Amino acid sequence: MSKYTVGDEIIVISNASDEKVKLRELTQLTTDGDYAQISWGLKIVKVEYDKPYVTLTYRNLDSELNKVFAECRDIENFDQEMVLE
């Protein structure tokens, strides 16, 4: 990440290769006999809450933007902090 001062503003430029390295580290495939577990490294770009709906925008290792939509079934206990778990 680089920071530059232009007049009164600070411009932050993220290094895309640093992000790719981190996402590659988080992406794993683990096997145990006939069973396997896969985890994908994703960069969360934005989370939108529209009770009871949640929209998660993320960037993958190939720098593609994708969205995931979900609906909370327990509306009375809708909690923005817990909804992503």
- Does a structural domain hold residue 82? no
* 17, 55 Cβ separation under 8 angstroms: no
- Does a structural domain hold residue 67? yes
* 53, 68 Cβ separation under 8 angstroms: no
- Does a structural domain hold residue 84? no
Pull the structure tokens for residue 39: 């985890």
Expressed as residue numbers, the domain containing 26 is 2-77
Q: 80's torsion region: left (phi>0), alpha (psi -120 to 50) or beta? A: alpha
Whole-prediction pTM:
0.66
Pull the structure tokens for residue 60: 């993958």
* 47, 53 Cβ separation under 8 angstroms: no
Question: How many distinct structural domains can be found in the chain?
Answer: 1
Mean pLDDT over residues 4-10, rounded?
75
- Does a structural domain hold residue 34? yes
Highest mean pLDDT pick, 3-12, 18-27, 33-42, 67-76: 33-42
